[in-house]
Amino acid sequence: MGIGEAIAKAFAQEGASVVLLSRDAARVEAARLRVGFPERTAAFSCDVRHSEEIDRVLALTLHHFKRVDVWVNNAGHGLLDSVAEMDMHACHDMFETNFFGAVSAMQAIIPVMRQQGGGTIINISSVAGHIPLPFHAAYSATKFALNAIGKAARIELKKDNINVLTVCPGYVATAFAENAVRGSELKRVRPASARGITAERVARAAVDGYLKRKREVIVPWTMHIPLKLYQLFPALVEWGMGKMAK
């Protein structure tokens, strides 16, 4: 869905062989057909909360394509609620997908990339991994954690010719909000003028970041402004978010 499908299509258009993963086998096969290039794409069911499923699809990928040059960690969902009221089971479940699923995948793919002489891991994070969002706090926490582990791993893996790229989109026009788990305090912090960029724009930024072996990509570039404001004037940004919460 959304960013994941757009990234698959962007890499396929660059000539890559692509494997698409989703918990829903029918959904991921439909996405593969939309991506096109049937002779060099494959689709498998996989729930990243279970490491044995990651191992299975990795083995299938190596069987079909012999190597993995790029691994994209994009699985994730949101939790809309306050810290005081959020359901802890829902919070744990989100961390299992958004963070621990990505870490499990990294641990599975790193030995493969070491053996083949290099590769790239792309973690799809969020601007919410730089600025904590009220009423999305647990989601922000998963992305802060993903940012930290990806950037630390990049340093650890440089000697192995493995780059770890962290992609941080701002508002994206996808069904993310509709598919988020909803709690009892449903307030959103978003400027009325922010309509969101397309998933295709995020995908293009991810491919460009991969080709340039960057450590981080923030998209759109205008998101650098609130990030810098938060670094320099956190109280001002927090005041603004408090005003926007509704």
Interatomic CA distance for residues 30 and 5, integer angstroms? 10
Active-site pick, 139, 171, 210, 230:
139
Interatomic CA distance for residues 9 and 120, integer angstroms? 17
Stated length of the chain: 246
Tokens of 120: 């790239």
Q: Give helix then strand counts, H and E, for the chain.
A: 10, 8
The answer to whether 169 touches 3, Cβ cutoff 8 Å, is yes
Closest by Cα among 82, 100, 101, 97 to 182: 82
Tokens of 185: 């305090």
The answer to whether 83 touches 138, Cβ cutoff 8 Å, is yes
How far does CA 74 lie from the centroid of its chain? 4
What's the CA angle centered on 221, arms 220 and 222, to 5 degrees?
90
Residue 191: how many CB atoms within 10 A of its CB? 10
Residue 210 among the catalytic residues: no
Residue 240: how many CB atoms within 10 A of its CB? 16
The answer to whether 70 touches 46, Cβ cutoff 8 Å, is no
Residues with catalytic annotation? 139
